[in-house]
Homo-oligomer: A and B are copies of this chain.
Amino acid sequence: MDLELRHPQPERAGRTKPSVIDCDIHPKADVAALKPYLARRWWDYLHSYGLRARHGFAKGYPYPKAAPQAARRDAWPPGGGQPGSDLDFMRQQHLDAYGIEFAVMNPLSPSGQGEQNRDFSAALAAAMNEWQIAAMTAREPRLKASIVVAYEDGEAARAEINRRAGNRDYVQVLLLSRTAEALGRKRYWPIYEAAVEHGLPVGIHVFGYSGWAMTNTGWPSFYIEEMTEHATSSQALVTSFIMEGVFERYPALKVVLIESGLAWLPALGWRLDKLWRRLKDEVPHVTHAPSETMREHLFVSTQPMEEPEHPDHLMEVMAWIGWDRILFASDYPHWDFDDPFLALPASLDDERRARIFSGNARALYRFA
């Protein structure tokens, strides 16, 4: 058994716990838990037709079987249910244990995202949004919700954002990274418009259901390649956002890249700047150097963070991205969870550590 999948309970009482805002945790609702929030029509539909996401995770996420539900082995609640489904256990194992001040929930499934029947997709997303409030934030003020949207239908997504955004327990709009088209395309602009209108950042969590092959040479052989590919697909989506002129159109838009790594950002910025200087007549709507745009509009979460041989290289990468742009995330309760006490490099000074642990998220998500 892989011991890495078990995490010792934190016992660092002698050390001052930093304030931690965790920008990526995954609550779990059984489909049955969504029943109160689904119209009878869709509940029946679910039982007749099931979940049908393109190249989807209907049978569980494509994480190793070694970690069912992609979870830490010790994250299965002793009272039953799936990891992330038992609020009391989540409090004990994560929120209390690490002194988490706030945690942003990013529900992955069942959230309707990627469902082929677009109306069903929207209904499931709405149900998941209601569940997050009723089952979680109403009972636990440290938890904050993300508005999941049926992103392939821009107007349905806009309507869902408009419906939820008045409740300050929702702190962002959540998309996945693998979409039917590149995320900069106009079909998704109603989402960005609504997010900006309500002052909400747009979080983009890796994974998704695009239906396209994972690379332009098809499907890779190994899970380890899929995990690598999250970084490359994120490069394509950032490129799309920039080259479609999304940020010129929505200057207040903030995008959070969740679980995509971060060390690839400088090299992408350098490449884009060079190409843009030579080819900008192709994209006259792009009026700012791509690297400037990246540093103004993008935020990144820390988990999973690259680990260079020389810690200085990580510091340089972070400095390039911006010390006010990096958000701590644990990915609780997934197998590749980052322990808040161990995740950040020792060479970070206290001020930067405090920003990454909580200050940047407090400002971005406007926590009181």
Binding site for B on A (CB under 8 A): 2, 4, 64, 178-185, 210, 212-218, 220-225, 227-229, 231-233, 235-237, 239-240, 243-244, 261, 263-264, 266-268, 270-276, 278-279, 281-283, 291, 304, 306-309, 313, 316-317, 320, 336
Residues of the B chain whose Cβ atoms lie less than 8 Å from the Cβ of A266: 263, 308, 313
Which of A217, A233, A239 neighbours the largest number of chain B CB atoms within 10 Å of its CB? A217
Q: Are B236 and A229 in contact (CB under 8 A)?
A: yes
Query: What chain B residues lie within 8 Å of A232 (beta carbons)?
Result: 232-233, 235-236
Complex alpha-carbon distance, A221 and B345, angstroms: 39
With known contacts A185-B221, A224-B279, A279-B223, A306–B270 Cβ distance under 8 A: yes
**Which residues from chain B contact A2 at a C-beta distance below 8 Å?**
281
Shortest beta-carbon distance, A2 to chain B, in Å?
8
| A224 and B264 contact, CB distance less than 8 A | no
Q: For residue A221, which residues in chain B have a CB less than 8 angstroms away from its CB?
A: 182, 184-185, 240, 243-244
Q: List 25 A-B contacts (CB under 8 A).
A: A64-B279, A64-B282, A182-B218, A182-B220, A183-B217, A184-B221, A214-B216, A217-B236, A217-B240, A221-B244, A223-B279, A223-B282, A224-B272, A224-B279, A224-B282, A225-B243, A228-B239, A228-B268, A228-B271, A228-B272, A229-B239, A231-B271, A261-B271, A267-B306, A274-B307
- Chain B nearest CB: distance from A218 CB in Å? 5
Whether A236 and B216, one on each chain, are in contact in the complex, defined by CB atoms closer than 8 angstroms, is yes
A222 near B210: Cβ-Cβ < 8 Å: no
Interchain residue pairs A-B with the least CB separation, the first 6: A263-B267, A270-B306, A215-B236, A232-B232, A264-B267, A182-B217
